Amino acid sequence: MFSFLFRRLLVLIPTYIGITLTAFVFIRVIPGDPILVMSGERSPSPEKYAELMHAFGFDQPLWKQYFDYVGNLLQGNFGDSIVTGRPVLEEFFELFPATVELAAFALFFALLIGIPAGIIAAVKRGTFYDHTLMTISLTGFSMPLFWWALLLIVFFSGYLGWTPVSGRISALYFFDTPTGFMLIDSWLSDEEGAFKSAVMHLILPAVALGTIPMATFARQSRSAMLETLGEDFIKTARAKGLSPFKVTVVHAFRNALIPIITVIGLSVGVLLGGAILTETIFSWPGIGKWMVDSIFRRDYPVVQGGLILIATIVIMVNLTVDVLYGIIDPRISKKGH
Amino acid sequence: MSVEAINNQPKQSALMAVLASFWFEFKQNRGAFYGLVFMGILLVCAVFADVISPYSEIEQYRDALKLPPVWVEGGTWAHIFGTDALGRDMLSRMIHGSRFSFYIGIIVIFICLTVGVMLGLIAAFNKGFIENCIMRLMDIILAFPSLLMALALVAILGPSLLNAMIAIAIVYIPHFVRLTRAQALSELGKDYVSSSKTMGASRSRLMFINVLPNCMAPLIVQATMSFSSAILDAAALGFLGMGAQAPTPEWGTMLADARQYIQSDPWMMGIPGLAILFTVLSINLIGDGLRDALDPKMKTSKT
């Protein structure tokens, strides 16, 4: 197990060098002079220009710039935002809980509906239930996320007036946010109705973001279940006279977990990508909106730092999934992929 | 010549038999069949857009702004799908927009298949350093969420539909590389490859004539699925203002334009959105059908 983990970590080193290199090159391949691009319409005076060149280290040789950059990263210095002047890492940690909250609830919603739907479809294969569930999930899978989010807003916020259109909480409430997770903070605060407001703000974006993963989970758990339901040990379990529920959930589902965990791991990338659209549409102040805004504002230090931080999350999740495989199926870690 | 002709004959009919059995399997799947019909209609729209569409797609009819579609009160048969905020005929814009769906899908798939398959085969045939370099490079691309990476790439290349397609293709290439490599590696261990090697086949012959055709089935399925994702991602980039630029009638860009009229004139947003949904759904249905027909092990619908 440990040598397996060690090998996986070792492979990460070249990947990580590549990721920092990608983010580093990013700012340098933009057509035109980065200083001119960053200073926008006002072109700086020659003195100011030289000063900026020096401040960003652009007057150094490229290899030295890269090593300085990585050196700073290793010390936790991701540079400062051009727009706000604040450290990139500080902004990231301030906004990250909002995205985690949104993504976690989207994932929860997706798992809660997707996996049972997939299991039911597999058990009732070829019936009306199967066809209906699979038609719905394929439609969800094909849904343009931004359009779906807008439809939800039109119906639930506009027509029914049930949920607010944007933000994380009503502007009526003021309270400290020690954890950054609005649900927890509003629960802890004494403000009446704050928690309800936070929940109402969260529902629609979470459903919008969770729809595509939900459809993926339903499809994947159906095919994984079909695969295991045909195996001999299931026939044995049935022959032993176990209840259908026990056969399905305890025997078949457990063995169908590997492909399901794979898609859950992969869906984290999907959720982070989808968060870009969802957060933009719902004005949700998380890292997805932060990245889009920074790309539009040409706030390159933020884009650079954000890319590295988001890639780190994706890599961490993939590593966790790999380790989970090893725990669920010891054969995998022994074989040493 | 004549010997070759005779040699080719059974090969031809064998291919026909494979295609016939494939079509038989594919036809069984009703969803895939309807998907194919929808895409066929869309293809006709795309090819004959100039002939079919009643108006020009960029002409602004100033006396008919934000006209609702014919089935809503106030709509007229003159503009069946209504007009947008600048008085452009929605139906004509939709018909012309269908071109971009094929354009996006075909270019992205072309780049992915050529570059991805090439890199995958090179990785499979050059174990060691070269393989490691290629696969680590793919890991790096995969470490970024695809839409974010595409967005960042378009920011570098400059917002346009072509750059959006290139960015999307780059983001999808790793999937093709991994798939090709895995498939080629499993083929390389088989007897027909070693016997071909013994007969003195060159490396490029092994790659393209022996191994590649046997890797095609999963690649075709992957290409179909990427076709639909490419349309979704290009629409998302267009929606964010980083894809096709106005007045191009690309469906995602049209949605972005319609967004400010979401409450007052919801159909303006509904029509392009539904079109994207149906197109992507049809391609995914075809993809499912292809997978069932090409790979009996992966059957999802029937057994």
**For position B128, what pLDDT does the model report?**
85
Across the interface, of A145, A158, A273, the residue whose CB is closest to B145 is A273
Q: Looking at per-residue confidence, does A25 or A308 come out higher?
A: A308
- Partner-chain contact B156 A158, CB within 8 Å: no
Which of A101-105, A135-139, A294-298, B74-78 is predicted with the least confidence, judged by mean pLDDT? B74-78
Indicate the pLDDT class of residue B18, thresholds 50, 70 and 90: confident
B188 CA to chain A: closest CA distance, Å? Answer: 18
Query: How many residue contacts between A and B have a Cβ separation below 8 Å?
Result: 124
Say if CB A265 and CB A318 are below 8 A apart: yes
Q: How confident is the model at residue B22 (pLDDT cuts 50, 70, 90)?
A: confident
Tokens of B258: 């319609």
Read off the pLDDT of residues B115-126 as tens digits, 9 standing for 90 and up: 999 999 999 988
Q: How far apart are CA A150 and CA B50, in angstroms?
A: 31
Q: Check whether B54 has a pLDDT greater than 70.
A: yes
**Cβ distance of B280 and A310 shorter than 8 Å:** no
SS3 labels along chain A: CHHHHHHHHHHHHHHHHHHHHHHHHHHHHCCCCHHHHHHCCCCCCHHHHHHHHHHHCCCCCHHHHHHHHHHHHHCCCCCECCCCCCEHHHHHHHHHHHHHHHHHHHHHHHHHHHHHHHHHHHHCCCCHHHHHHHHHHHHHHCCCHHHHHHHHHHHHHHHCCCCCCCCCCCCCCCCCCCCCCHHHHHHHCCCCCHHHHHHHHHHHHHHHHHHHHHHHHHHHHHHHHHHHHCCHHHHHHHHCCCCHHHHHHHHHHHHCHHHHHHHHHHHHHHHHHHHHHHHHHCCCCCHHHHHHHHHHHCCHHHHHHHHHHHHHHHHHHHHHHHHHHHHHCHHHHHHCC
Contact residues, chain B, for A277 at CB < 8 Å: 147, 236, 239-240
More confident of the two residues A1 and B71 = B71
Q: Do B145 and A153 touch (CB under 8 A)?
A: no
Name A177's Cβ contacts closer than 8 Å, sequence gap at least 6: A185
pLDDT of residue A80: 83
Residues contacting residue A77 through CB under 8 Å, at least 6 positions apart: A87, A89
Contacts of B300 in chain A (CB under 8 A): 134, 219, 222-223, 226
pLDDT computed for residue B296 by the predictor: 54
Q: Which of A17-21, A52-56, B130-134, B283-287 has the lowest mean pLDDT?
A: A52-56
> Considering only CB atoms, which chain A residues are within 8 Å of B132?
14
State the average pLDDT for chain A: 83
Q: How much is the pLDDT for A22?
A: 85
Tell whether the model's pLDDT for residue A37 goes beyond 60: yes
Confidence at residue B299, expressed as pLDDT on a 0 to 100 scale = 45
Mutation pick from A27, A130, A142, A310 vs chain B, by most beta carbons of B within 10 Å, is A142
Residue in B closest to A130 by C-alpha: B301
pLDDT at B171 over 50: yes
Of all residues in chain A, what percent carry a pLDDT higher than 70? 92
Among chain B residues, CA nearest to A226:
B300
Task: Give the pLDDT confidence of A186-216 residue by residue, as tens digits.
Answer: 777 777 777 888 888 888 999 999 999 999 9
Are B139 and A18 within 8 A, CB to CB? yes
Q: Is residue B138 predicted with pLDDT exceeding 80?
A: yes
To the nearest whole angstrom, how far is the Cα of B254 from the nearest Cα of chain A?
11
Average of per-residue pLDDT across A112-124? 91
What proportion of chain B, given as a percentage, has pLDDT over 70? 93
Return the higher-pLDDT residue of B62 and B268: B268
- pLDDT for A107: 93
Q: How confident is the model at residue A218 (pLDDT cuts 50, 70, 90)?
A: very high
Select from A126, A144, A315 the Cβ nearest to the Cβ of B143. A315
User: CA-CA-CA-CA torsion for A208, A209, A214, A219, nearest 10 degrees?
Assistant: 100
Give the pLDDT of residue A30: 65
| A314 or A3, higher pLDDT | A314
pLDDT band at A13; cut points 50, 70, 90? confident
Find the distance separating the first CA and the last CA of chain A, reported in whole Å.
12
Output the pTM of the full model: 0.85
Top-ranked range on mean pLDDT: pick from A168-172, A298-302, B280-284, B294-298: B280-284
Does position B101 have pLDDT exceeding 70, yes or no?
A: yes
Listed range (A211-215, A270-274, B84-88) with the worst mean pLDDT: B84-88
The chain-wide mean pLDDT, for chain B, equals 84
- Closest Cβ opposite residue B144 in set A145, A150, A311: A311
Q: Between these two residues, A336 and B106, which has the higher pLDDT value?
A: B106
Question: Given this model, what pLDDT does residue A332 score?
Answer: 62
- pLDDT (average), residues A18-23: 87
Cβ separation A311–B263 shorter than 8 A = no
For residue A332, the distance in angstroms to the closest alpha carbon of chain B comes to 17
Residue B164 has pLDDT above 60, yes or no: yes
